Amino acid sequence: MCSENAQPGPPRQERGRDWCTGYRSSRLTLLAMLFAVILPRLASAVTPSLVFACESSNDVFQVLAAQGQHFPRHATGLEAVNAAAEGDGVLILAQDYPAKTTRLSDEIFAIAERKKLRLYVEFPSTLPGLTVGAPRGHKRGPYGSNIDREVVTSDAFGTVLRRSTLLMVHGCRFVPVPVPPTNSHIVAAQVAGYNNATFGLPAKEVWPILFQHPDRPVLVATTKLSHFITGRYAPTEAWEPVWLMILRWLQPGIKPSRLTWTPMVRPAYSRAGALPGDVELQALTRGIDWFGRSRLMIEPNGRKGFKEGYSSKEFFMDGSHAISTQVRTDCHGEVAMSLALGAAITGNTAWGEVATNLLELIYRDSMAGRGPRLDPKHPAYGLVGGDLMVDSGVYYGDDSCRHLLGTVAAAAVLKTPRWDDRAALEMLANFRTTGPSGFRQARIDEPELVQKGWRWFWEKSDGHWGGQRLVPHYQAYPWATMLWLYDKTRFEPLLRRTEQAIRTLMDAFPDGWGSEATRHETERCRMLLPLAWLVRVEDTPEHRDWLRQIVRYVIAAQHASGAIRQRVLRETTANSQYGTDECALIQANGDPCCDLLYAVNFAFIGLHEAASATGDPEILQAENRLADFLVRIQIRSEARPELDGAWYRGFDFEKWDYWGSDGDVGWGVWCIETGWTQGWITSTLALRHLKTSLWDLTAASRIAGPFAKHRPGLLPDDALVTPEKRP
């Protein structure tokens, strides 16, 4: 408003008009300046104008709705483009995926062009001017393993997802389109690496997953990227940037809100923060309850056993994944141990009954222990095969001794000697096929055993198999079992051969050790148990020093989170190697991943037994840190109850997510092993709760009686005389 009381000067009417005109001009200039600053900010807060063609349950549609962003939704792409206003962004998302591609007509693209719409389409049946092939999946490797992964190939996602970043679209089905990687934002290919494609893209078989149409404002996903929550695409942190990029592309100049959701499968607790006082008991109970929820028990009472576990080979549309159907002997002994301990702690007698049935299956009701293995004249007498349902004639010492340790633990908890006779027989059968140097072939096949006879292994074998000798992955638990048996029987050759073998191994430490599938830390974690038990039977400064050497390595490898960082002896050197063999979960040392199938699980029981044997507070502290880590990363899932309470093989302790290089042909990042992983972690939690050790729990075993009965038949006195002393 202009004042009527102006200063002396021109006549009042002219003076007032000039002053007001100047005031208005200045005010307009100021407003223009303010709008120049504010309007871009207002634009960034404007809700984008989007129209959807999708199912109401679509993940992206649901996430936006949950955050208060409600957009019109239509059943078909044609309806969506007809309803859209000029300049809108339209998302035509895959429905009935992967059974049907998304039907796109020429009319849809014509309407979009006329209305200046931006289209995002998924899993299309056709595209203007481009050839769209028949749907296909990721390339498969040996044993059906998944070889291809997704790779970021542009700068469209900014610094949060740089070029070469790796993603995983689980269960991916896509339509091949001849668009080069240089014109794509994401591709699928066989690449080696952990977080990034270490060697770039291969020359062939690189498939576009997300790209912009070369001639139209159409962003194309050749698969269903909008299924990222239900499909459990990985890693979790990558999929917000992917979708923010798509939403920004659909409405340039409008900054979409951040996207938040709860992953269907996630760690039970964050990396930091207080935990409930009874958190270990909760984790133990959930972990043992998982055996019943897992859908892996063939019959509710356990009489027909368990399937091995969940595989990483294939994920399904609902977020479930493939089951490894083998019925493994080792897993059954380990699960029996876990269930028996759980029954003792909770009073749930049903768990004890299942444990009993599992051990009965191993020793009396399966093919693994029958046939030639019950014939005293056969060289396989006393052995137990690795598969309960198939007479494979294959004998792994490590697998055998892990189910034996599970057996003696379960028997101690259930207070029964019913399996002592068969367990003693098997331990003797394992020992008499151990070489004079204390090393046992990692694997003995029945034809070789029949051809050579057990005495050849006892007198001449040096433990080599496929170049594997100084590899604790195969030797450590047989040694632990023989030390345990020596303590109960005082049969001197058990100690002599075992101590000699451990001495040979420790003399070669650290540079002379080999590794199974290049996993470096696995071998150290495995040796904790036999070295702890060697201290139990012969507590000498030298034996304690051997244990300390391994403990120092494990503690040095322990991350602040409690995880035991994985290390490799050799890195993958080419893309073509990825997904073709058993392997580690990392590409290079320093990758922030730990392995709960081959290392962390065995470190847990090993540290526990070492702390119990020595009373060393530093070892106990490392064990406690590892226990804290394990209860935090236990799987929590309401949507997938068959996974709730379990532990996956791979965990990235920086992302705090289940992630790694998923190249293992059989047991990848997202596998769950009933025995090796679940059995040992829950059993160690149970031992901690009971304030005892596996050694002390089984101290009262009466296996010496059956051992004394069977020893002369399996390992006669003349075999105990060294060759040079024989007449």
CA distance 663 to 548: 33
Question: Is CATH 3.20.20 the classification given to domain 50-250?
Answer: no
- Written as six digits, the tokens of 509 are 């430490």
The percent of the chain in helix, strand and coil, each rounded to the nearest 5, is 45, 15, 40
Nearest by Cα to 222 from 111, 78, 126, 79: 126
Residue given tokens 């900054």 in the structure block: 255
What is the distance between the terminal CA atoms of the chain, rounded to a whole angstrom? 127
Question: Is CATH 1.20.120.160 the classification given to domain 266-717?
Answer: no
Q: Is the pTM of this model over 0.85?
A: yes
Residue 528 near residue 626 (C-beta atoms within 8 A): no
Residue 407 has, within 13 A of its CA and on its CB side, a CA count of 29
Which residues, 6 or more positions from 641, have their beta carbon under 8 angstroms from its beta carbon? 293
Neighbours of 180 (CB within 10 A): 11
List Cα–Cα distances, 276 to 107, 241, 643, 653, in angstroms.
60, 34, 22, 21
**pLDDT for 722:** 67
**pLDDT for 408:** 98
Which ranges constitute the DSSP H helices of 415-471?
420-432, 446-452, 454-459
**pLDDT for 47:** 66
Residue 360, phi then psi, degrees to nearest 5: -65, -35
Nearest by Cα to 529 from 512, 504, 508, 554: 554
Q: Report the run of H or E that residue 443 belongs to, with start and end.
A: strand 443-445
Pick left, alpha or beta for residue 164 (phi over 0 → left; psi -120 to 50 → alpha; otherwise beta).
left
CA-derived radius of gyration, the chain: 32
Low-confidence ranges of the chain (pLDDT < 70): 1-47, 722-727
Domain locations in the chain? 50-250, 266-717
CA distance 626 to 105: 57
Residue 257 near residue 251 (C-beta atoms within 8 A): no
Q: Tell how far CA 691 is from the center of its chain.
A: 29
- Torsion angle defined by CA atoms of residues 605, 512, 668 and 603, in that order, rounded to the nearest 10 degrees: 10
Q: Tell how far CA 471 is from the center of its chain.
A: 23
**pLDDT for 397:** 97
Neighbours of 33 (CB within 10 A): 10
Which residues, 6 or more positions from 712, have their beta carbon under 8 angstroms from its beta carbon? none
CA distance 181 to 202: 11
> Is residue 102 helix, strand or coil?
strand
50-250 and 266-717 have identical folds = no
CA distance 644 to 325: 20
Among positive and negative, which fits the CA dihedral 669, 672, 678, 680? negative
Residue 169, phi then psi, degrees to nearest 5: -100, 95
Pick left, alpha or beta for residue 467 (phi over 0 → left; psi -120 to 50 → alpha; otherwise beta).
left
Which residues, 6 or more positions from 460, have their beta carbon under 8 angstroms from its beta carbon? 435, 436
Nearest by Cα to 501 from 441, 426, 567, 427: 441
User: What beta strand segments (E) does 222-362 contain?
Assistant: 266-267, 309-315, 321-324
CA distance 569 to 576: 19
